[in-house]
Chain A
Amino acid sequence: MSLGEFLQRATSPWMREGGPQDDIVLTSRVRIARNLEGIPFPQLETDSHANQVIERVAKALNSPAVRKLGDFELVRCSDLSALDRAVLVEKHLISRDLAEEARHGAVALRQDEVISIMVNEEDHLRIQCILPGMRVDEAWRLANTVDDALESELTWAFHERLGYLTACPTNVGTGIRASVMMHLPGLVISGQINRLLSAVSQVGLTVRGLYGEGSEAAGNLFQVSNQVTLGESEQEIIQNLTGVVLQLIDHERAARKALLQANREALEDRVCRSFGILAYARRMDSKETLQRLSDVRLGIDLGIIKGVSSRILQELLVMTQPAFLQKYFGQELSPGERDVRRAALIRERLRLDDTEVHG
């Protein structure tokens, strides 16, 4: 199979679309935690409880209300290979916890992979909607619709004062975690990022790097999400997040413009060097891959590099991860082998596009 075909099959359909502000916002994601009334939370679930939850979810997925939203396929994690589970984690469709403790877990996926429902993770259900670009409001509305549809068959654990009850008190209330993944190289290069991120944390939001490396996020990728789930309505949470993200987008655009004006040559040099390394290197570790991809994506956004799809960052972000590499090359790979294959895959991916570099 050619890489083009593999990409077509392996990446989620939504990853191939664009979305509003997708030069800066990669994805918008909303996750809602729900638990069934009368069954212990997953931590204390017996095999029979866990099966009950899966069976009830399966029944709910077949209800007319849910079927209206599309076709879902429910799979028990124990029926998936460890590699397939890892691929689902790399596609952000299930959590690492669910993949690792697969005994009781299951996942329901809608065909387009926009909606995924994790079953028996920390909570009985985690409904997730993920969309490309800045569409957090739409992701919430969709997740809310799925919640309503499931509720036509299932009774949620709900407390009059505390709202939706969750296994961890950090999710109680709305059970909602909305997050926006942003590419902010301008703010990082211009040294403004820490100041902005600390401001963000003062308005009830949190920021983490893609791989939890704090503010020195790999690939200049940051996830901004709500921190509080109790005491604010879902709409307030979404509005607050949206407002802050839109401001961050403005700051990022201004920073990019200022960088180009102040020192175009240095920026072009950085972008083109990274492009050269990605195009010719024989070994790439994941950290350097992320940094170079971030530079190239910035170069594409600023018109320095032409002829390369702006989806390359999203695609290769997922494609160059361990499980995907092994899936693509069809064999188990040691970390050292992965670095060699990763470099090969990136070179191949760059050849898919007819690249031009404008100096």
Chain B
Amino acid sequence: MLCQRCQQRPATVHFTQVIGGDKTEYHLCDQCAQEKGDLLSKAAQAFSFNSWNPFQFNQLLSGLLNMESSPGFASPPLTQLRCDHCGLPYSQFTKTGRFGCAHCYDSFEARLEPMLRRIQSNTTHTGKVPLRAGGQVKVKKELQRLRRELQQAVSLEQFEHAARLRDEIRRLEQQLED
């Protein structure tokens, strides 16, 4: 099948857009899908925020999310992808636009990333950090750094330094558990 937009390249992306009950099917090549995606995300913003209609927004969100899943995409088919924590099927997220639990953000990370780029200005939080979790976040970041340093020390055969790092890592791990 040829891309219905450019009529030149083969169609590799197939998705359905539903707006107000009107269903439109698209069969596009990668390049046209990308351009269409940009248009759609603008439309999604216009719809969701001007009329504040979550129903329409979710349908557009759904269009966007399914668009990521062109055949040959290196991940399990949509029907099988679920959050490994709460069991929410990805297909349900694309319908409602809502996650089942905090772990969904990790489970669907690969698919979420492009969407966050479209709807948010950035993909990294720069605002407030909670006092409680914030302390843990700092400890976790420090642990990551120490573990990297430990690997390096071992590979350089700096065993005394490695032993000190190991003790520090244990201490922080203990702190996290408490």
Contacts and interface: CB of A to CB of B under 8 A. Distances in A.
B122 to A, nearest CB: 2
Contacts of B49: 206, 208, 225, 227
A62 to B, nearest CB: 18
A167 interface: yes
B122 A232 contact: yes
Contacts of B137: 158, 160
A232 B126 CA distance: 6
Interface string B93-107: 000111111100100
A214 B119 contact: no
B130 A167 contact: no
Contact of A44 (B88, B123, B124, B133): B88
Given A44-B86, A169-B112, A231 B101 contact: no
A151 B130 contact: yes
A144 B97 CA distance: 27
B128 A234 contact: yes
A191 interface: no
B148 interface: no
Interface stretch (A1-9, A34-42, A289-297, A338-346): A34-42
Contacts of A227: 45, 49
B129 interface: yes
Given A44-B100, A159-B105, A228 B140 contact: no
B21 interface: no
Contacts of A41: 98-102
B8 interface: no
B127 A159 contact: no
Interface string B9-42: 0000000000000000000000000000000000
Interface in A217-272: 225, 227-234, 237
B52 A208 contact: yes
A160 to B, nearest CB: 5
B125 A151 contact: no
Contacts, number: 137
B125 A43 contact: no
A252 B166 CA distance: 64
B53 interface: yes
The interface centre, meaning the residue of B101, B122, B131, B132 with most chain A CB atoms within 10 A of its CB, is B101
A207 B50 contact: yes
B115 interface: yes
A162 B125 contact: yes
B120 interface: yes
Contact of B120 (A159, A225, A229): A229
Q: What are the nearest 8 A-B pairs in CB distance?
A: A231-B122, A163-B125, A206-B49, A230-B120, A157-B102, A158-B133, A44-B100, A233-B127
14 contacts: A41-B100, A43-B99, A160-B141, A164-B125, A165-B99, A165-B102, A167-B98, A169-B116, A172-B105, A208-B50, A230-B122, A230-B125, A233-B127, A234-B127
Given A37-B133, A176-B127, 13 more contacts: A147-B128, A151-B131, A155-B132, A159-B105, A161-B125, A168-B97, A169-B99, A169-B119, A170-B57, A172-B120, A207-B50, A231-B126, A233-B128
